[in-house]
Structure 1
């Protein structure tokens, strides 16, 4: 069973679990969810596309590049979405941090393209898919945050968004997931990913998203690709040359730069009316 199919199954079943535990909230907030149907559908489509792009990126570019580009680009794209749709002005601090992160991801891609690593066979195609995954991640984070700001509880928002996204993934699973139950190993991996990262992980993510901006929530998840890159080297056996390690270091520096405590309103300011 391919990683893309496993990812689609995990996100699909994890999303349905989100909806199941949120049934009470979905009933209470049904009217509000119906009012926000545009945000709901936009977020659900992004949820459905995310695992397809993310796991295809890792398959083509390797775990290190696929994960770092997918999750490393999400905070930058999230801030751009907030800039375009919420009228938030990007500060000099944010632009410096974004530049550091982009240079880091470029160095990682160049390291793999130059043939020094042992990741995937198509690093540039994988990096582009990673950017697509980062955009869908940022997009469903923004739509969920918008629904919460309009009075819908975090649990109902995540249940509706991920439940509908999970339903959209079912046809994909039907076409690509024939091997899901062929072995206990495949089933075990799929069940673990559905319950732990996709269900419990996104419950925690929704809790945090109700309290901080989408751009900050996605920025904090930059810890994930850094850990994934280290595990790819230590466990999977991928290699990074000095150029690639410099890219990893710059992504970490971007995370520290963007999350270091500053005075309220310094990171991004609301653009003045008119």
Structure 2
């Protein structure tokens, strides 16, 4: 492992754990809160918080980052992920949409890593990623057969590509700019891109204290803090490795469902969780000298 790589791995894992709280938070959202409206509000709150943080810390200096094409590709990827993922879930169901989106993201990240001339995936990454993806499939499906909708699967694949795209192009930006500058500017633009949705969907669920609490959690913790941690970790490890490590998210979501929402997991799902963590251990352990 590179010097201090373990620290960057922990940052990525911490960000992924915070992402894993999203489903639990949505469970507590008031009636009438549609997934797309939640996604738009989440990005609006998170983007605003990240922009304020970046500006208050003086992280954004000059116009250069605003003129960088990678900035806009990253922002478009963030916005596209929200749209593609929720559209996929509506067409093919939560389980299938999540499996395809999350399972395909590391594969796309590996492809981007090769195309962009980054550190190429090695055998250990391939093994760890396959183990973790199989674990995610077992975890989310519980061993039950899923029905695939072609258009839904394609949308989920697009979501996986969009997530990997954010990671890849943000990694390019991190070569020149700080974590706060990258997240602040990228999410500011991403929030603007999704802002029209705020005028399309019913936002009455925000009129209650419960709705505001959900929006603040999703925006400040599951978006702003999560992406700062993840992006900071991304600055110190290969992008394909970071995306594989982010498979911690569904495992976290499932564990929160069990312990907070009193949900029941099948034995197959528990095996899936074990495989996810086995994959994370494989990719994180230091090679023998």
Q: Into which bin does the TM-score normalised by the smaller protein fall?
A: 0.7 to 0.9
Which of 129, 139, 157 is residue 165 of structure 2 equivalent to?
Answer: 139
Alpha carbons of structure 1 residues 94 and 217: separation in structure 2 relative to 1, 3 Å: closer
Alpha carbons of structure 1 residues 251 and 72: separation in structure 2 relative to 1, 3 Å: farther
Alignment match, 2:27? none
Q: Name the TM-score, length of structure 1 as normaliser.
A: 0.77
Alpha carbons of structure 1 residues 110 and 128: separation in structure 2 relative to 1, 3 Å: farther
Alignment match, 1:202? 227
SS of the residue aligned with 1:25?
A: coil
Alpha carbons of structure 1 residues 263 and 174: separation in structure 2 relative to 1, 3 Å: farther
Aligned residues of 1:33 and 1:40 also touching (Cα < 8 A): yes
Aligned residues of 2:143 and 2:268 also touching (Cα < 8 A): no
Stretches of structure 2 that go unaligned for 5 or more consecutive residues are 1-32
Q: Shift of residue 79 of structure 1?
A: 2.2
Write the mapping of 1:17-32 to structure 2, written as runs, cut at 5 A.
Answer: 17-23=49-55, 24-26=58-60, 28-32=61-65
2: distance between equivalents of 1:135 and 1:84?
14
2: distance between equivalents of 1:45 and 1:187?
26
Higher relative contact order (CA 8 A, sep 6+): 2
Alignment match, 1:80? 111
Alignment match, 1:6? 38
Deviations along 1:162-208, one digit per CA (max 9) or x if unpaired, are 11001111012221243243322222211221112211222222322
SS of the residue aligned with 2:207?
A: coil
1: distance between equivalents of 2:132 and 2:108?
12
Alignment match, 1:173? 198
Q: Name the TM-score, length of structure 2 as normaliser.
A: 0.74
Aligned residues of 2:136 and 2:250 also touching (Cα < 8 A): no
Aligned residues of 2:99 and 2:140 also touching (Cα < 8 A): no
Aligned residues of 2:125 and 2:241 also touching (Cα < 8 A): no
Q: Shift of residue 92 of structure 1?
A: 2.1
Stretches of structure 1 that go unaligned for 5 or more consecutive residues are 116-121, 265-274
Q: Shift of residue 96 of structure 1?
A: 2.0
Alignment match, 1:41? 72
Aligned residues of 1:3 and 1:56 also touching (Cα < 8 A): no
Which of 205, 209, 213 is residue 238 of structure 2 equivalent to?
Answer: 213
Alpha carbons of structure 1 residues 263 and 57: separation in structure 2 relative to 1, 3 Å: farther
Aligned residues of 1:181 and 1:187 also touching (Cα < 8 A): yes
